[in-house]
Every structure is written in structure tokens, then in C-alpha cells.
Amino acid sequence: MTSLIIVSVYLALLLGLGLFSSRLFRGTSKDYMLASHSIGPLLLLMSLFGTTMTAFALVGSTGEAFKEGVSVYGMLASSSGIIHSLCFFLLGVKLWGFGHRYGYKTQIQFFRDRLESDKIGLLLFPVLVGLVIPYLLIGVMASGGVINGMTQGKVVEGNVVNGTFEEGTFPAFLEQGSQGFSKDGSRGGVPRPIASFVICLVVLLYVFFGGMRGTAWANTFQTCVFMVLGIVAFWVIANNLGERAIRADQEANGVSNDTADTTVQQASLLEKISAVSANIPTERLTRSHIPKLKFFTYLLVPLSVGMFPHLFQHWLTARRASSFKLAIVAHPIFIMIVWVPCVLIGVWATTGLIHIPPPVQANPNIVLPFMVKSLAGPVLGGFLTAGILAAIMSSLDSQFLCIGTMFTEDVVVHYGGKGRFSDKQVVLLARLFIIAIVAVTYGFSLFEPRRVFTLGVWCFSGFSSLFPLIFASLYWRRLTKLGSYACVGAAVVSWITLFWKSDFARNADYTFDLVLGGMTYQMMPVAAMFTSSLTALILVSLVTRPPSEKTLAKFFS
């Protein structure tokens, strides 16, 4: 119950921050959606980092390290450090310039102008929204899992013991989970659907009232929280597991309990974590089980940030171009600070120094909350849960706001006519759409959960396959309207085909296999998607009419 109280207080604080920031709201749609381009270097760094580091980074990385070993860091973290900053540098800064000059609020507004095509909006809108929703789902599902994991008890001989709630507190279908969406039951904790609902509600409220300014402030606050608490979690888990490892060594050597206690007390942190790491199974230490080409093609996955619509919106909030510099430099370092401890915790969970029960083994998403709960006390556990939730919510807010903005700007205002709505009505519409998208996402989250990491990689792969479009629109004068249609079409068709072949992400190890000269080359599906969209973009652009001189002068002068 202590953990739950701490988490509740944290959520209340966050709400307070969002509501406070709404007092600075200037009442215009530009302020609601872009914070009136007022975000400086530090807030921009924190909001960009908080937005890109989602449940995928904390819960997903620990879970994947538990399943696959330390390779997960090279596959996504170090590559992201290089490529995210590359996108901020090559795309973000340039798009910021166009956004300021021509008043864009969404990606689609930019593409409509650059490609001289109104219909590109109709084509891109469902694709972008369709890809953001699984990304949102990752956060909503993970938040439910984390809160439930932290508050549940243990099942002993068919009965739940040490749960936060007595049996019968919640409706039976939530507690037992024999039917419907809560397959594993709540085990005396907050049922996942209720936990996810509360998180959705909190994020909805501060986005609803605070808009982009509230989101940026909340992101900054939450990024500080999850970075600091992440380090604390690592320290506590390292100490606790280290003591167990040294004690196990001493017992194996037949040392008496008193001597073992003395050795444990005198051991430094380095000695403790060395004792833990000595127990990591060999297969978790290396990448021997990963094909080299598959590892290489993982490099394409972080290109997704170039096409994230919510990052586009964050880029436009910058006060000036130089505000980007801090984010470009610090992003790789921040990724390291968050990911290295998470990956180590994930592989330490495989050492046998802590018993990982079968339900946790079967659901890697809850490895981190399980470790925190088992190795930290309830007070610290509560704070650490708040840290994990902070990482999750700092992405959800931007995504909710972005989809609300897209619905309002790219559909309603665009097709309804700019003069038809007052600025206040535009803000109201954005808020209503945000409520609708939260409701839809929450509804989807009640279905059978997938591994956060797997779902995330599929979602990012879809965005990565659209990367050629944004890059060419900024750096290739010859890109045409039909070339862009072909690019989006190829990306959609290849994504759907491969997603279907992976049994809709049920096959977490699915690869795109290319057979050449009797050899099979295993690649990430994103390689095939990216190649097909890039090829279609180039070939069709070269054989169709180039953009007008007026447009080229507007974007390339």
C-alpha cells in the first residue's frame, strides 16, 4: 500500500504541474499546440529526450536484456545515440526553419506545401495515426503492467498472499482474469485495466489543460525524475544482488555465516557488482546468437524519429535554431545514462541470484518492476515505480497532443476552411480529439498484450520506412508528388505484408530472410521496408514531372 500511496502522490503532483502551466496559457491555438515557439535549450533537450525514451527504453530494454542479453544496447541504444542526433541535426533544425517561416504546426502541412499535393495529407494521415497508436499502446499497456506488478502479491498454493488489496475488492473478472482481457488476474494488486485507465486520465488532464507548454514542463520534470530514480534503482538493486552473490560465494566455500556477514559488510559496490556479473550466463554476455546482418540492419530502426509526428511538433516549439544544440550533444549521453543500468538489471535477473517466477519470465515487460519490488523496500519501490511511470507518461503526453493537433489542423480546419473556426474553437476541437484518441487507445490496450519491445520495433520500423520521404523532401529537389505517393504506398504494403508474416508480432524473432547463392541472410524487416520505399521514391520521382520552380525556390533557395 505504501508504494501505491507514493505513486498516487506523484500523479497528483504531476497533475498540479500541468494545471499550473495552464495558467500561463495564452488562449491561442499556436500556444496550445506549439507553446508559442518559446521553448529554450534545456526544456527542448528534456522534452525531446523524455518523448523518445518511453516504456520501450526502461521496461522494454530490461525485459529484452533479460531475454536476449546485453546485445540490446548495441541494437538500439548506441545506434539511437548517433542517429537520433543526426535526425535532430539534419531534419529538425531545417524543419524548424520552415515551420517558423511558413507557420506549420504539423508534418502534413509541410508535406502538402513541399509536394504541391493536397492529397498527400489524406494518404499520410491514416498512416501516421495508425503508427502512433501502437506506440501509444506500448505506454498504456506498460503502465498497467508496472503498477500491477508493483502492487500484486504472491500466489502460494492457489491463494494470493501479501497483496495490496483483499480478494473481492475489485470485480471478479479483473481479479481472477479467467476471461477477458486481464489474463493473469490482478493477484491482489491494482488490476491492469484500472491502472492503465488512471495513467491515461492523468496524462489526458494535464495535456487537456496545459497543451504543449504543460507537456514540455511535465516532460522535463518527469525526465529528471526517471533519470535520478533510475540511478537510485540501479544502486539499490546492485547492492542487494551483490550481497546475495557474495553470500552465495561464501556459502559455496563453506565459510561460516558470521564471516560471510563481515565479508558482505566490508565489500565495496564494485566488488558487489563484480560478484553479480560473474554469474551472468555466457549467452547473455555476447551476441553469438544474433546474425551480424540482423544487428547491422537494426541501425535503420532509429531513423524512425525523423518521421515521428510528435517529435516534429516538439521541434517547432524551439525558441531558436541554436536551442537544438544542447539536445543534439546531450542526447547520446542521456541514452547511455538510462539504458546501461536497465540492461545490466535485465541480465542480472538471469543470474539465478533472485528467483524469477514463471509468470514474470513469461512476460518480460514486468521484469523491471519485479526486480524493483523484490530488492527495494516499499518506500523506495514506490518512488522507483513513479520513475518508471514518469518515463512512460513523458511520451504518452506528446503523442496524445500530436494526434489531437493533427486531427484538428490536417482534417477539420484544412477541409472545413480556416475562416470557419475561431481560434478558441480550434483549441476546443484539439482537446476533444485528444479525449477521443485516449479513449480509443485505452480500448485497444485491453486486448491481449504483446512484448513491449517487439511491438515497439514494428512501430518504429514503419516510421523508418517513411524516412526517405522526409529526407528527400528536404535535400532532393527532384522529389515529386507521385514519387512521394509511391514511397508511402511501398512502405505501407511492405509493412503490412511483413507484419502479417510475423503472425502480427506474435513471432518476436521474425526476420526478413534473403536467400542468395545458397546462403540465407537474416535481416530486420525494416531493411526490406526501407529499401522498397526508397526505391519507389527514387524511381517514380525520376520519371514524373518535377516540382514547380516556385516551390523549389520556397524550399531550396
Partner 1 sequence: MRPIVWFLILLLLVLHQDNWFWEDQTLVFGFMPIALFYHAGVSVVAGILWFLATQFCWPANLDEEENVHSESTSRT
Choices 306-314, 324-332, 394-402, 524-532; region in contact with partner 1 by CB under 8 A: 324-332
Does residue 73 interact with partner 1 by CB under 8 A? yes
Residues numbered 35 to 54 that lie near partner 1 (CB under 8 A) are 37
Q: What is the 3-state composition of the chain as percent helix, strand, coil, each rounded to the nearest 5?
A: 75, 5, 20
User: What 3-state class would DSSP assign to 322?
Assistant: helix
| Smallest distance from partner 1 to CB 197, Å | 36
What string marks each residue from 257 to 276 as x (binds partner 1 by CB under 8 A) or -?
Answer: -------------x--xx-x
Among 5, 9, 42, 278, binds partner 1 (CB under 8 A): 278
Does residue 296 interact with partner 1 by CB under 8 A? yes
| Smallest distance from partner 1 to CB 273, Å | 4
How large is the greatest C-alpha to C-alpha distance in the chain, in angstroms? Answer: 85
Choices 83-91, 113-121, 144-152, 163-171; region in contact with partner 1 by CB under 8 A: 83-91
Residue 180 DSSP class = S
446 burial (CB, 10 Å; 0-12 / 13-18 / 19+) is middle
Q: Which CB, 94 or 554, lies closer to partner 1?
A: 94
Residue 84's nearest CA partner among 415, 330, 264, 293 is: 330
- Whole-number Å distance between alpha carbons of 281 and 344: 13
Among 9, 161, 329, 543, binds partner 1 (CB under 8 A): 329
- Whole-number Å distance between alpha carbons of 120 and 24: 36
Q: Which CB, 151 or 350, lies closer to partner 1?
A: 350
Residue 484's nearest CA partner among 121, 92, 105, 86 is: 121
- Whole-number Å distance between alpha carbons of 40 and 46: 10
Does residue 77 interact with partner 1 by CB under 8 A? yes
- Whole-number Å distance between alpha carbons of 387 and 372: 11
Does residue 180 interact with partner 1 by CB under 8 A? no
Among 1, 2, 16, 101, binds partner 1 (CB under 8 A): 101
Q: What is the DSSP string of 345-362?
A: HHHHTTSSSS---HHHHH
Among 321, 379, 496, 542, binds partner 1 (CB under 8 A): 321
- Whole-number Å distance between alpha carbons of 425 and 431: 10
Does residue 285 interact with partner 1 by CB under 8 A? yes
| Smallest distance from partner 1 to CB 402, Å | 23
Place of cell 528536404: 474
Number of residues that bind partner 1 (CB under 8 A): 51
Q: Which CB, 85 or 445, lies closer to partner 1?
A: 85
- Whole-number Å distance between alpha carbons of 207 and 224: 19
Residue 448's nearest CA partner among 183, 199, 195 is: 183
Does residue 21 interact with partner 1 by CB under 8 A? no
Q: Which CB, 90 or 435, lies closer to partner 1?
A: 90
Does residue 5 interact with partner 1 by CB under 8 A? no
Residues 6 or more apart whose Cβ sits within 8 Å of residue 134: 455, 458, 459
Give contact residues for partner 1 (rule: CB under 8 A): 37, 70-71, 73-74, 77-79, 81-82, 85-86, 89, 93-94, 97, 100-101, 270, 273-274, 276-278, 280, 282, 284-288, 292, 295-296, 299, 320-322, 325, 328-333, 335-336, 340, 343-344, 347
